[in-house]
Structures are given as structure tokens and as C-alpha cells.
Amino acid sequence: MSEQIPGLGQVEEPPEPGQSPMVHAEEPSRWRAALSEILGGSAAISVLAIVVGLLVGAVFIALFDEDVHSAAAYFFARPGDTFEAILQPYVLLFRGSVWYPGPDLLSSLAPLTSSLYNATPLIATGLGIALAFRVGLFNIGAQGQVILGAIFAGIVTFDLPLPAGLQLPVALVASLVGGAVWGGVVGALRAWTGAHEVITTIMLNYVALNLLIYLLKTPVLQLSGQVSPKSPPVPDAAALPLLIPRPDYKLDLGFVIVLVVTAIVAWLFNRSSLGFRFRAVGENPSAARTAGIDVKRVYFLAMVLSGLLAGLGGFLLLFSQANHTQGLSPSFDASRVGFDAITVALLGRSRPWGVFLAGLLLGALHAGSFDMQGLVPNELVGVIQSVIVLLIAAPPLVRAMFHLPQPVAARPRRTSLRKAVVSK
Amino acid sequence: MSAATATVAPSRAGAPTRAALWKTPILLAVFALGAIVLLVPFARDGSSPFILATRSDLVQLPTLVVPARTTGVVFAVLIVACAIVSVLRAVAGRRTPLWLVVVFAVLVLAGFLVWADAGADRGITVPSLLVGGLSLSTPLIYGALGGVLSERAGVVNVAIEGQLLGGAFVSALVASAVAHPLASAFGESNVNGVAGFLGTIAALLAAAGAGVIVSLLLAVFGIRYIVDQVIVGVVLNVLVTGLTSFFYSAVLAKDAQLLNSPPQLPSLQIPVLSSIPIIGPVLFQGTLITYVMYVAVAAVWFALFKTRWGLRLRAVGEHPRAADTVGIKVNRKRFSTVVIAGAVAGFGGVFFTLGSVGGFTKEVTAGAGFIALAAVIFGRWDPLRATLAGLLFGFATNLQYVLSSIGSPVPGEFMRMVPYVATVLAVAGLVGQSRAPAADGKPYIPS
């Protein structure tokens, strides 16, 4: 966020050097501290948030699962049964996402591969959102960028007569371009007109969705001879190949791509000069400008890259081995991926490997949610996730709940000054 | 309105810059050019029938049939005339007045309708086009009013979607759970009688309450714990979506007969007025929430700009430090405003469940809250303009249904994009000047 915390709409950029500074200087430092605390808070808070999320989920299970109710009837005789009933959906969740006892080790691990498969697009998209966070931009538009990535990849696959071997790489590149274009529009608007990225991304999400539905009704994407808005399936030859060729495994090359991309983003963040500029702008745009960084260009570039990663997410979603026969349709899962990726980025504290882990967690929750369906509605996972992210977004609350000390770095200057005075 | 605009831009007073002055004329010119292209070279032959009458009208107006090509040209001329007036005013250094923009928009829309309707068998039923538009605008306007209130006090409200969704869910549940037992207690065979009425009242209150709960969370996190208000808003939307979907599956769907079949809001016809042709069906045959909406728009405008309460509210949103200095409790004021805003937005959620057939379904609001947010911004944080924007967006949505029903060549998806594209253009400063309250989204930390 820029020096003053922007209201939505147009953002006032910090003044150019030499210009007379604006009057409001309402302790931006403290606000900035609060924001950097959200993104830079300790891993402990992430873990606690997950624990609380699961506990809240357990409360919901206790309230709405009939098995729990029948066990609770004799709670005082055998309290163990009640707790077991409460845990049962979580056991199913675990079986659906990590380990389902089977005849041998490899088949028992099949659920784990489906968690990794579900995590793949989340990680890519989450990295995109995390990248924007680094620069102080809140990219809620991953949904739209995912869709555009998928549209572009779909067009080159369905409409171009490419040889089978080229389809996959060309589609991959096209998806990156699609996402980058959609993100770039946001970045350009933010950089050169000051349009707040939160608003433009929300709006462009819906524009992208309608664009997709429109294209699905035209020959561009529609399966010929179809009336319903649905694209042809992605050809088998173009789909991401499985890493371990077993019919019950869903893990495909996409996961390797995501591993590599996470490493690249980590390098970009921590080692490259561009990453340094990103961080500088994210920490303090005014200082960055004074230091000679072209802040507007950084905003634009960051959104291009952010969109690019989300576009990759769209590609991974569409071309995954497990899902490629679905093709594109209005029920394309972009909205879930786009919003879960925000959770992933927040939970991962915008650090590349943190995002990676958070993506694994959410992928596992999603994969396992289908298995608990029999006991409780699988929307429970949505509740757990939103509790987690709510707590992540409010570190002061988590600290208050668990009586954690306030981290030194995030402590407002005023307090630490006073402390310094006292300690003298 | 003038009072409103005068108070909108206190920190950047002074003459409009050249660029600001020319934005509207240039935009009108672009639209005028588009209109000429559509209405003259691409004119469609045949006649465009417009059905003006509904059965309950006092005077039955005949169906208006206009020749598409000629009428299109006439409209093109009028549209160009408007654009020229706007350009001439800009040359003279004067702003384009709002009324001219409205007239221009109506002309463009009418010209477009004539073009799209050409050669249709039955034609467009004008009253139902307008009625549907107003009806679809209802939740948008409630949401937008909630958004305006909250943002004028300096708290960004991205959680409108969550407030609407919460209101929709709770109202369906409460209306059903109250009306059905009462109906059997009163011995009524259905829920359209007294029991239904009581259920509806309870549902209206509960919906407002649901909005309040969402906004309390927004206030606690955004004001008390100074979490980024945008992040809180986004998270709250996710939370409400998750909770309502969960409860829908876990509770409502299990006993839909008892818990998710709310009575439908009856249409209240105002005698005499409702039988005026065109105007009657549109304005005076609405449901309770339509009439409350008329009052709410006026009330919010009056409260914001004509009362001390509103002055303080705006002060807190524009310059909290100054407000604090003169003794206004900034955060308390913000807190109470956000709560009221939540009640208004939550109330709008009733539309989705009691306002139409059928009860609650998962994510029934389908992004209406974000269109309401768009209306807030497109309406420049002013209740009346935001209402107009809400009407425009609702109308655009309905137009798409109507056009597809008469088999028009315009893809509905592009009509659906209108609110979103318009808002992007607005925040990019291409359409007018869209400026948030100065302290919107900035937490206030008393020193």
C-alpha cells in the first residue's frame, strides 16, 4: 500500500521529490507496521490459526453431525464415543487427503497425490498474489487472471493445428501471456491512473467470467455441434503427463513445474535486484522513489508477474491429467482457486516456500473434503479456511487469544520509545 | 445534489482542471461516434414494436411501433447534439451538467433499444423491462447505501456481498421458521396470511441483524484491531459464503419444507397511482422492500447532508484528526456508522429470498454485493448518484434478459459486463472524477 493507506478508488501517490508533501502524515509508520505484521508475522500464528480453525470446525461437527448427537445421548456413560464421533469427519478428511489404508504402500498413498494435485494450481496462483503483496498491492483478481490464462491456453489448443508435442508448451506460454495481460491491465491502471487495484481486480474478475461464458458460446472455444457452453476436452497428448503412471495417482508434471516456479520466485524475492526493488516499494514507496526506483514501473511489472503466475494456475487447472477431459465450462473452478489462493498467500505470509506449504494444506483440505461429505457437508472446509484466514489477517487477535507477546519489530514506534525512556 | 457535490471535494477546491473538464465531453463524443456507427451504417430495417401497456393500466396505451432505421437516425442526431453541447460547454470552460449526461445516457439507451428491437415479432415490453430493472436494482441500491454510509465514515466496505448474503440466508430461515409453525397454530392453510406477514416482519428484522453481525466483525477487526479493512472485507465475504453454504447443507436442505420455504413478499399496489400507464407498474406495484428503499435513499441522503449526525460522519471520514479535535469520538462514530450500514445492506439481502420465488440457495447473491460496491464507486460515494448507478446496473442486467428473450443479436455477456467495465473506467478517472473520502480505509489511532 502506498504511504497513506489508500481508500478505494483512486490512490494518491506519494509526492514526487521536490513537490510539497501532502499534509496528512497520520502515523503511516504504525499502520504500515500493522500491515507488515500481517505479512511478516511468525509461523507460530499461522499454526495457531490452523489449530483454531480446526477447533471451530470441530464445534460445527459437534453441533450438526447426527452421529455426534446419538453418541452424546450417552455422553456420561461413554464420553469417548462422543469425541470419537467428533473426530470422525477429520479422520475421513485425513484418509481423503493423506493416507487411505490399502493393500500396499503405494495405493495407500493415493490420496496424498490427489492433495498435491489439488495444491498445484493453488500454489502457482498463491505465489502470484504473494508477489503482489510484496509490492503492497492486493491482487483479488486472481480469479480473472486464472480464467484468462485458461482462455488463452484453450484458444491455442483448440483452434491452432499444432503438432501434438508442441501443444503443451505453447499452451503453457499462452496461459502465462493471458494471465499477464489481465494482471498488466490492473498494474497499468494502478501505475498511471491511480485506480485502486482492489476495485479494478474485483471488476475484472466478472469481466473475465463473462468473457469466458461468451467465448464458450462462440466457435472460438465451443465444442462444435454443442448447444451448451462447453469447450472440447484438452487432448490427451496435450495434458500434463503423470509423474508416476498409476491409475489411482493424480500427481502430474504440474507439481514439478510448481516446485521450479516456487524456487524461481524465491530467488526473485530474495536474490534478484528486481525482487529488491519490489520489496523496497512494498516497504515504503516514497523512500523507494527517493532512492531512484521507478515506482510506477514496479507496480506495473509486479502486476504483470502476479497475473502471469495466476495464468499459470489456470493452465495447471485446465491441463492437469486428472481434470483435462473436463475442458472449459462456466463452472470452471477459477473462482475457488482465485479466492483460496488469497488464503494461501496470507497463510504463507507471502514467502514463497510458506505459500508452497499453505498451498499443500489447502489442497489437502480440498481433496479430503469430498470424503467427509457423508458425515458433514463438505462446506465445512470453507468455514475452517475462512476462520484460519480471518485469524491470519488479525495477528493482534490471535496474540490476545493465546497471550503471546508482541513481536519487537512490529511494535509501534511510540511504545518502544516510551519503553526506551523507561529503561533509561 | 449541489449540496452533495459541494461537500464532496473540500480538500481539492478550486476550478476544475482542463483534463477533468474534458473527460466527460470526450467520453460522450466517443459514445456518440459509436451510436452513429450503430444507428446509421449498421441500421437495421423493419419496425421496432414497444409494448407499453399492462393489463392493470387505467388507460390502455397502444403498442408503439417505430420504423427502426428512421428512428435510429433521429436518435443519432439527438445524441450527437448532446455531445456537441457538452463539447461547447467545455470550450467555454464549464462542466457538463449531470442532467445532460443522464439525457445522453437515456438517448443512447433508447437508440440502442430501437436498434436491438428491430424486426422482433412481439417486441420489448417496456413496463416489464423497467419493472425488472428496478427489481434487480433493489439489492444493489441497499448494498450501495450501506457502502456509502460506511465509506463516508472512513471504513472501506468490501463486505457488502457478505452482508447481502447473510441477510438473504437469515431472512429465508427466520421467515420460514416463524411463518410455518404460526400458520399451523392459526389454522391457516398456507403462509400467505397473518402468519406469513409476521414471518416476513421477523425476517426483515433478522436480515438487518445479520448485516449488523457481519459489519460488527468488520468494525472489530478494521477499527479495533486495525487490520487492513480491504483484507477483512474479503475474508468476511469468504466467511459468510462458507457459513451460509454450510448451514444451507447442514440445516436448511435437510428440512426445506419447514426451514427454507419463506413466504413471498406480496406486491403492494397503491390505489390509482399503480394504474398510471408505464409509471404505475414500475413505481407503485412494488413489494415492501421497494417502498422501504425509496424511503431509505431519501433518508440516507438527508441524514448524510442535512443533519449534524451526517456532518460528523463525513468529518470522521474526511479528516478524522480534525473531527477528533472538535470532540467527536472518531472510532466510536465509525463503529456505529458501520453497524448501521450493515443493517441497511443486510436488509437488502431479503430481496434474494423473500423477493422472488424459492428460498435460499448457495451463494444466491452471485456477486451482487460487488456490483453494489461498483455502484458506490461509480456513484462517487454519494447516496443519490450511487442509487442512480445501482438503477443503471440493475437495468443493464435486466436488459440482457429481455434482449435474449426477443432474440436480439447482442450477446448477454457483454450487457453483464457493463457495471464492471463502467466502474473500471470510473476509477481510472476516465468517467468523471471518482474520489473516495479522504480518510477512507485509514484507521484512526488517537494520539
- Per residue in A127-160, pLDDT (tens digit) is 999 999 989 888 988 999 999 999 999 999 988 8
Tell me: do B148 and B227 sit in the same domain: yes
Contacts of B443 in chain A (CB under 8 A): 5, 31, 34
Q: Does B434 touch chain A (CB under 8 A)?
A: yes
| Residue spans of alpha helices (H) in A65-163 | 66-72, 79-97, 105-108, 110-134, 142-159
Give the per-residue pLDDT at A65: 81
Please list, in sequence order, all residues whose beta carbon lies within 8 angstroms of the beta carbon of residue B313, skipping any fewer than 6 positions away. Answer: B149, B152, B153, B304, B333, B337
Instruction: Identify the burial level of A103 via C-beta atoms within 10 angstroms of its C-beta, where 0-12 means exposed, 13-18 middle and 19 or more buried.
Output: exposed
The distance of A181 to chain B (nearest Cα, Å) reads 16
| CB within 8 Å: B370 and A202 | yes
| CB within 8 Å: B427 and A195 | yes
Q: Does B404 touch chain A (CB under 8 A)?
A: no
For chain B, the domain total comes to 2
pLDDT tens, B252-308? 888 888 888 888 888 888 888 887 877 888 888 888 889 999 999 999 999 999 999
Contacts of B434 in chain A (CB under 8 A): 9-10
Of A23-27, A292-296, B14-18, highest mean pLDDT: A292-296
Give the per-residue pLDDT at B115: 84
Q: What's the pLDDT band for A40 if we cut at 50, 70, 90? A: low
Range A14-22 average pLDDT:
41
| CB within 8 Å: A26 and B234 | no
Give the per-residue pLDDT at A3: 35
* pLDDT score of A419 more than 70: no
Tell me: do B303 and B381 sit in the same domain: yes
The distance of B430 to chain A (nearest Cα, Å) reads 9
pLDDT tens, B228-250? 888 888 889 988 998 999 999 88
Question: Where do we find the cell 456507427?
Answer: B37
Tell me: do B198 and B270 sit in the same domain: yes
Q: Which residue of B has its CA nearest to A66?
A: B250
Q: Does B228 touch chain A (CB under 8 A)?
A: yes
What CATH code is carried by the domain that includes residue B243?
A: 1.10.3470
* pLDDT score of A382 more than 60: yes
Give the per-residue pLDDT at A414: 40
Range B113-131 average pLDDT:
80
Tell me: do B110 and B160 sit in the same domain: no
pLDDT tens, B147-172? 999 999 999 999 999 999 999 999 99
Whether residue B25 is contained in a domain is answered as yes
| CB within 8 Å: B429 and A194 | yes
Tell me: do B32 and B65 sit in the same domain: yes
* Listed residues B122, B149, B169: the one ending a domain: B122
Q: A231: how many CB neighbours lie within 10 A of its CB? A: 25
Task: Name which of B242, B321, B443 is nearest A379 (Cβ-Cβ).
Answer: B242
Tell me: do B146 and B113 sit in the same domain: no
Tell me: do B199 and B259 sit in the same domain: yes
Interface size between A and B, measured as CB pairs under 8 A: 186
Please list, in sequence order, all residues whose beta carbon lies within 8 angstroms of the beta carbon of residue A192, skipping any fewer than 6 positions away. Answer: A296, A300
Distances (CA, A) of A23 to A201, B226, B328: 30, 22, 21
pLDDT tens, A398-412? 777 776 666 654 444
The distance of A106 to chain B (nearest Cα, Å) reads 34
* Listed residues B72, B101, B122: the one ending a domain: B122
Q: Does B12 touch chain A (CB under 8 A)?
A: no
* pLDDT score of B16 more than 60: no
Give the per-residue pLDDT at A26: 41
Give the per-residue pLDDT at A28: 47
pLDDT tens, A205-222? 999 999 999 999 888 888
Tell me: do B293 and B404 sit in the same domain: yes
Which carries the bigger pLDDT value, residue B230 or residue B311?
Answer: B311
Q: What's the pLDDT band for A23 if we cut at 50, 70, 90? A: very low
* pLDDT score of B14 more than 70: no
Whether residue B439 is contained in a domain is answered as no
Q: Can you read off the three cell numbers belonging to residue B38?
A: 450503430
Whether residue B18 is contained in a domain is answered as yes
Give the per-residue pLDDT at A317: 93
Tell me: do B408 and B269 sit in the same domain: yes
Range A160-185 average pLDDT:
92
Q: Which of residues 363-422 of A touch B (CB under 8 A)?
A: 376-377, 379-380, 382-383, 385-387, 389-390, 393-394, 396-397
Q: Which residue of B has its CA nearest to A208?
A: B417
| CB within 8 Å: B370 and A206 | yes
* Listed residues B80, B97, B122: the one ending a domain: B122
| CB within 8 Å: A206 and B447 | no
* pLDDT score of A301 more than 90: yes
Of A32-36, A168-172, B229-233, B431-435, highest mean pLDDT: A168-172
| CB within 8 Å: A140 and B420 | no
Q: Which of residues 152-181 of A touch B (CB under 8 A)?
A: none
Tell me: do B249 and B312 sit in the same domain: yes
Q: Which residue of A has its CA nearest to B433?
A: A10
Distances (CA, A) of A370 to A59, A75, A340, A376: 19, 29, 17, 10
Instruction: Name B321's bridge partners.
Output: none
Whether residue B63 is contained in a domain is answered as yes
Give the per-residue pLDDT at B152: 93
Give the per-residue pLDDT at A408: 52
> If residue B49 lies in a helix (H) or strand (E), which one and from where to where?
strand B47-51
Q: Does B318 touch chain A (CB under 8 A)?
A: no
The distance of A77 to chain B (nearest Cα, Å) reads 28
* pLDDT score of B383 more than 90: yes
Task: Name which of A10, A343, A376 is nearest B435 (Cβ-Cβ).
Answer: A10
> If residue B67 lies in a helix (H) or strand (E), which one and from where to where?
strand B64-67
Q: What's the pLDDT band for A164 if we cut at 50, 70, 90? A: confident
Give the per-residue pLDDT at B434: 59
Task: Name which of A4, A26, A343 is nearest B321 (Cβ-Cβ).
Answer: A26
Give the per-residue pLDDT at B423: 80
pLDDT tens, B172-205? 999 888 888 888 888 777 777 788 888 889 999 9
Range A288-305 average pLDDT:
93
Q: Does B417 touch chain A (CB under 8 A)?
A: yes
Give the per-residue pLDDT at A7: 47
Which carries the bigger pLDDT value, residue B15 or residue A36?
Answer: A36
3-state SS of B124-185? EEHHHHHHHHHHHHHHHHHHHHHHHHHHHCCCCCCCHHHHHHHHHHHHHHHHHHHHHHHHHH
The distance of A394 to chain B (nearest Cα, Å) reads 6
Instruction: Identify the burial level of A165 via C-beta atoms within 10 angstroms of its C-beta, where 0-12 means exposed, 13-18 middle and 19 or more buried.
Output: exposed
pLDDT tens, B42-58? 877 777 888 887 777 77
Give the per-residue pLDDT at A392: 81
pTM: 0.84
Task: Name which of B230, B246, B320 is nearest A138 (Cβ-Cβ).
Answer: B230
Range B307-317 average pLDDT:
93
Q: Does A214 touch chain B (CB under 8 A)?
A: yes
Q: Which residues of B102-121 are buried (b: 16+ CB within 10 A; e: fewer)?
A: eebbebbebbbbbbbbbbbe
* pLDDT score of B15 more than 90: no
Task: Name which of A30, A193, A342 is nearest B234 (Cβ-Cβ).
Answer: A342
Give the per-residue pLDDT at B312: 93
Q: For residues B356 and B365, what is the distance between their CA atoms, to the nearest angstrom? A: 12
Do A125 and A313 touch, CB atoms closer than 8 A?
yes
Which carries the bigger pLDDT value, residue A256 or residue B10?
Answer: A256
| Residue spans of alpha helices (H) in A217-351 | 253-270, 273-283, 285-290, 295-319, 334-347
Quote the mean pLDDT of chain A. Answer: 83
- What is the DSSP secondary-structure string of A154-193? HHHHHHS---HHHHHHHHHHHHHHHHHHHHHHHHHHHHHH
Contacts of A35 in chain B (CB under 8 A): 228
Task: Name which of A9, A213, A377 is nearest B250 (Cβ-Cβ).
Answer: A377
Whether residue B444 is contained in a domain is answered as no
Q: Which residue of A has its CA nearest to B234?
A: A140
Q: Does A336 touch chain B (CB under 8 A)?
A: no
Question: Where do we find the cell 433499444?
Answer: B113
Whether residue B438 is contained in a domain is answered as no
Quote the domain boundaries for residue B26.
10-122
Whether residue B254 is contained in a domain is answered as yes
| CB within 8 Å: B436 and A10 | yes
Whether residue B400 is contained in a domain is answered as yes
Range B139-146 average pLDDT:
95
Which carries the bigger pLDDT value, residue B306 or residue A419?
Answer: B306
The distance of B331 to chain A (nearest Cα, Å) reads 15
Tell me: do B349 and B378 sit in the same domain: yes
The distance of A93 to chain B (nearest Cα, Å) reads 16
Quote the mean pLDDT of chain B. Answer: 84
Q: Which residue of A has its CA nearest to B249?
A: A377
Tell me: do B142 and B114 sit in the same domain: no
Range A358-368 average pLDDT:
92
